[in-house]
Amino acid sequence: MSRITVQALSPALGAEVSGMDLREPINRQTFLEIEQAWHQHLVLRFRGQRLSDPQLLALSRQFGELDPPGPNPYGKPFLADFPEINVISNVKVAGQPIGNLGDGEASWHCDMTYVERPPRAALLHALELPDGGSDTYWSNMYLAYETLPAGLKQRIAGRRAIHDASYNSAGMLRKGMKEISDPREAPGAHHPLVVRHPDTGRLALFLGRRRNSYIVGLDLLDSEALLDALWAHATRSEFAFRQQWQLHDLILWDNRCTLHRRDAFDGNARRIMHRTQIKGDAVIAGA
């Protein structure tokens, strides 16, 4: 038996895992317990983990093959020595951003769903934090699907949506992308709106991000109205967990059945997070 404890953080999702030093390799028994907790709670928080970048990479690799970050607005990795790590930060050095997303709100999204095989998981490590604000929220897309009114379930059954690749969650155009005014022309993967989770078999709403989304085959106005209704439902507060960061928190989340967003924070404060992602499988249509 391992010595870890798992405690739920909200009724919808999120759990705190205690009793681990993530700098050490995870033994088989403990790994299975973490995996089970992850499938049950979707987002796991490990407090007090002082990880160097190589340690973050070694930890991440225990969950699968690393998926490099998607293109950022500046066109090159933030860490030349560790290109698999994405830096989420508002800090500038000599006028140049050291990371992505700035200090504004990052709107609800899941990561890199504009590719055919989006990452299955992500790990986010808090290295520098403002005194307040900058909370991050995750929302449970199993619950969102299960509680969706029957009429909406019927309207999205068998339908796919475009997951736009042009803009990041802070509304910045990615390097090499053109501005898009008609969502029907947005570049990016077309994924089912309802997916089956490859590990748990449960059905989840799979929305990606709202900007430039379009439900294939619908009139544009109908698509906009249906997407607005789905997003209003999926982001209801009772499906969410709010993460109030402490230094050296490490969060591991399931990117296939959650959305996340971040609050804006004081632009004069410094916030630095390092993030990795784990490669995912092909998306499975659920309904």
Of 67, 111, 249, 254, which one is the catalytic site residue?
A: 111
135 classed as catalytic: no
Of the pair 30, 86, the CB lying nearest ligand SIN is at 86
111 classed as catalytic: yes
Q: Which residues in 111-170 contact ligand SIN (CB under 6 A)?
A: 136, 169
| Interaction of residue 273 with ligand SIN, rule CB under 6 A | yes
User: How many residues bind ligand SIN, per CB under 6 A?
Assistant: 9
From the CA atom positions of the chain, what is the Rg in Å?
Answer: 18
Taking CB under 6 A as the criterion, the residue among 26, 106, 141, 205 binding ligand SIN is: 106
| Interaction of residue 276 with ligand SIN, rule CB under 6 A | no
Residue whose C-beta lies closest to ligand SIN: 136
| Interaction of residue 56 with ligand SIN, rule CB under 6 A | no
Q: Is 36 exposed, middle or buried (0-12, 13-18, 19+ CB in 10 A)?
A: exposed
199 classed as catalytic: no
Give Cβ neighbours of residue 8 (< 8 Å, ≥ 6 apart). Answer: 14, 15, 41
Q: What is the 3-state secondary structure (H, E, C) of 100-124?
A: EECCCCEEEECCCCCCCCCCCEEEE
Q: What is d(CA 9, CA 7) in angstroms, rounded to the nearest whole number?
A: 6
What minimum distance in Å lies between the beta carbon of 122 and ligand SIN? Answer: 7
Of the pair 106, 144, the CB lying nearest ligand SIN is at 106
Q: What is d(CA 285, CA 88) in angstroms, rounded to the nearest whole number?
A: 31
Is residue 215 within 8 A of residue 160, CB to CB? The reply is yes
Residue numbers at the binding site for ligand SIN (CB under 6 A): 88, 101, 106, 136, 169, 260, 262, 273, 275
